[in-house]
């Protein structure tokens, strides 16, 4: 948690949206956007690229459509979370 002197103490989203351009400039509204987008690309790229592959392989092995949907979601989501964790950690620290 930030020290008392470093806190901005916004009262609401609207207060922050009004004060940030005045205090930090318009570019301040976009601070943190690049790390957030990098994390999102890692997460979604992994999720979307593995889900269909997992689903097809599980369906071939079991022949059960419902099981393949749920299992593929579980495995793809877990792998995506694991892949994006370093980016999420860096984003949080920045």
What's the average model confidence in pLDDT over 71-84?
A: 95
Rounded CA gap, 74 and 33, in Å? 28
For the chain, the average pLDDT equals 91
Specify the 3-state DSSP secondary structure of 53.
helix
User: Is the dihedral angle over the CA atoms 22, 8, 29, 11 positive or is it negative?
Assistant: negative
Rounded CA gap, 2 and 51, in Å? 39
User: What pTM was computed for the model?
Assistant: 0.70
Query: Does the structure show a pLDDT above 70 at 54?
Result: yes
Query: Does the structure show a pLDDT above 70 at 65?
Result: yes
What's the average model confidence in pLDDT over 48-77?
A: 95
pLDDT tens per residue across span 26-35: 998 888 899 8
**Residue 38: count of CB within 10 angstroms of its CB:** 15
Query: Does the structure show a pLDDT above 90 at 55?
Result: yes
């Amino acid at each position: 948690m930030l020290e008392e002197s470093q806190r901005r103490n916004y009262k609401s989203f609207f207060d922050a949206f009004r004060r940030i351009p005045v205090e930090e400039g318009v570019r301040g509204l976009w601070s943190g956007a690049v790390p957030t987008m990098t994390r999102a690309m890692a997460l979604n790229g992994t999720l979307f690229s593995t889900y269909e592959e997992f689903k097809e392989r599980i369906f071939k092995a079991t022949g059960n459509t419902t099981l393949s949907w749920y299992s593929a979601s579980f495995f793809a989501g877990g792998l995506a979370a694991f892949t994006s964790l370093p980016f999420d950690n860096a984003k949080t620290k920045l």
